[in-house]
Amino acid sequence: MTPTSPVGATPTPMSPQDKALKEVAQKLEASFLAEMLKSAGLGKTSEHFGGGAGEDQFSSFLVEEQAMQMVKAGGIGLSESLFDALKEKQNDQ
């Protein structure tokens, strides 16, 4: 599912530098969300049906991917704020 733009809004093309900044901001938001999900208990091995050492080792990958999918679906708005701040800092230089 891809996000849509409001009716009448024309998306402005992003420069390669802006795309790189946006990607960095999204990765940072995903890292933040992954830590929040881990703190909430997502990815912990169940006591009754544990998957052993394999599950313990790979559960972090699952949590990180779930966090990235949350960001791609709109996230919590952190990446937009980070992107704006990084863009402003870049323009100041």
Number of domains in the chain: 1
Query: What is the pLDDT, as a whole number, of residue 14?
Result: 83
Query: What is the pLDDT, as a whole number, of residue 7?
Result: 66
Question: The pTM is what?
Answer: 0.72
In a domain, 65, yes or no: yes
In a domain, 32, yes or no: yes
Local confidence band at 4 (pLDDT 50, 70, 90 cut-offs):
low
In a domain, 46, yes or no: no
In a domain, 86, yes or no: yes
Its domain, for residue 73, covers: 16-39+56-92
Which three-class secondary structure state does DSSP give residue 50?
A: coil
Give the Å distances, CA to CA, from 26 to 38, 56, 67, 73, 74: 18, 26, 10, 11, 10
- Helix then strand count (H, E) for the chain reads 3, 0
Q: From CA 54, how far away is CA 60, in angstroms rounded?
A: 11
For the segment 27-52, what is each residue's pLDDT rounded down to a tens digit? Answer: 999 999 999 998 898 777 666 666 67
Q: Which residue has the tokens 């779930």?
A: 66
User: Among 19, 18, 44, 34, which Cα is nearest to 75's?
Assistant: 34
User: Among 65, 66, 86, which Cα is nearest to 23's?
Assistant: 86
For the segment 50-93, what is each residue's pLDDT rounded down to a tens digit? Answer: 667 777 778 888 899 999 999 999 999 999 999 999 889 888 87
